[in-house]
Amino acid sequence: MKKRILIPALACLILLCGWEANAQSDQLDLIMETAGEARLKVMTRNIYIGADVDIILGAQDPSEVPVLAAVAFAQMMSTNFPERALALAKEVKMHKPHLIGLQEVYTIRFQKESDAVIGGTEPATQVLFNYLKIFQAALAAEGLDYQVAARVQNIDFEVPMYNPEAASQFSDVRVTDFDVILARDDVEILAMYKGHYQAQLIVPSAGITVPRGWVAVDAKVRNRTFHFVNTHLEVVTVPELLPLQLAQIQELLTILSMQTNQIILVGDFNSQANKHDTYQFIKNNGYVDAWRRFDGRSELTYNKKGFTYGHDYGLRNETVDMYERIDHIWVRSNVYTDGKQDIGTTVMDVTGDELADRTPSGLWPSDHAGVVAYLWIPKY
């Protein structure tokens, strides 16, 4: 059973009662409600396409793309998302979060005979993998009912891929990326919002523009209404990309500044905690990093800093090699005159970071770990 970071009173209750993981979740709900507080559980999870697609984006010449695409495609097949989805679903079952922010939710399409290699524009339509449907099926197999509350489509690009089994020796592979919010069946969704950042990465050598987006909902849990936001910011592979990432978060926080509800902001920010400029920018604009409230007081025997990245691209590393915390849960609460905040934090957990979390064939669920926060919302 995974150990957790807890406020002392609740930690004692768990130790005294000896609850199993699922029982802990249900019993803590009851305790919080009895104490006059509603408990909200949220999760952020990058589920990972399963390959290093940056090798395609980093192509120096368009003629390199087919071979690089074939390498990435083979890696994606070997990391077997249907198998990984079952492990991801078990993480969700452990906590049963009310809302989940998912990143890298891909649909992969295929066309055996390429037209893109000769400049054609006919889109590939044969669906090989729909990650969202596969993941929802895995959740259902665990007895969980999660529905899509909102989603935004980001990059949708198609490239020729070397394939000796095709008559022309080239096929087309098309990848479409989404950010998604899943809601538990007892969450009331009042409104949905989505958008794309004006700041976008352009890759001339591959002929690709990489849009990034955000998606949000107004949700109600136990008569408390809040604004839940999920995003995936651009990765800073070279220092020159930092202004692009900063521009994206500036756009998002400007939009969120008009919100009067308390805000829960989750996602893959690609910004290392306590070090990178984007992280500091969010912190300096009135948001609280939920993990930081428990930093240094972890009960974990390892990963005390809550690292969430990065397993090997092939997901078969036999040691835990995570080295940075870039997946975050932020809270922006209204503060009343008595100094109390609307949203507090009682429990934090990192998922997919233990050897026991791997699939039967030895795959990690993702190259990222997931983060779960148990938040309390007191009555006023």
> pTM of the prediction?
0.90
Q: Which residue has the tokens 């870039």?
A: 326
Strand bridging mode 288-289 / 5-6: unpaired
Q: Which one-letter DSSP state was computed for residue 324?
A: B
Task: Say if residue 353 is exposed, middle or buried (CB neighbours under 10 Å; 0-12, 13-18, 19+).
Answer: buried
Query: How confident is the model over 309-324, as a mean pLDDT?
Result: 94
Give, in degrees to the nearest 5, the angle at Cα 2 between 51 and 289. 70
Query: How confident is the model over 64-88, as a mean pLDDT?
Result: 97
Structural domains of the chain ordered from first start: 5-378 (3.60.10.10)
Higher pLDDT, 302 or 180: 180
Q: Where are the beta strands (DSSP E) in the chain?
A: 5-6, 37-46, 99-111, 126-130, 146-162, 170-184, 188-196, 201-203, 208-210, 213-221, 224-232, 263-268, 288-289, 327-332, 344-351, 370-378
Buried b (16+ CB within 10 A) or exposed e, 7-31: beebbeebeeeebeeeebbeebbee
pLDDT tens by residue, 205-256:
777 889 999 999 999 998 889 999 999 999 998 889 999 999 999 999 999 9
pLDDT of residue 361: 98
Q: How confident is the model at residue 293 (pLDDT cuts 50, 70, 90)?
A: confident
pLDDT of residue 104: 98
pLDDT of residue 305: 84
Query: How confident is the model over 274-283, as a mean pLDDT?
Result: 93
Is 81's pLDDT higher than 60?
A: yes
pLDDT of residue 35: 46
Question: What's the mean pLDDT when you consider all of the chain?
Answer: 87
pLDDT tens by residue, 5-57:
444 444 444 333 333 445 555 655 554 454 445 589 999 999 999 999 989 98
Question: How far is it, in rounded angstroms, from Cα 68 to Cα 56?
Answer: 6
Is 344's pLDDT higher than 80?
A: no
Contacts for 274 with CB less than 8 Å, ≥ 6 apart: none
Question: How far is it, in rounded angstroms, from Cα 227 to Cα 11?
Answer: 29
Is 188's pLDDT higher than 50?
A: yes
Contacts for 125 with CB less than 8 Å, ≥ 6 apart: 109, 111
Is 294's pLDDT higher than 50?
A: yes
Q: What is the percent of the chain with per-residue pLDDT over 70, rounded to a whole number? A: 84
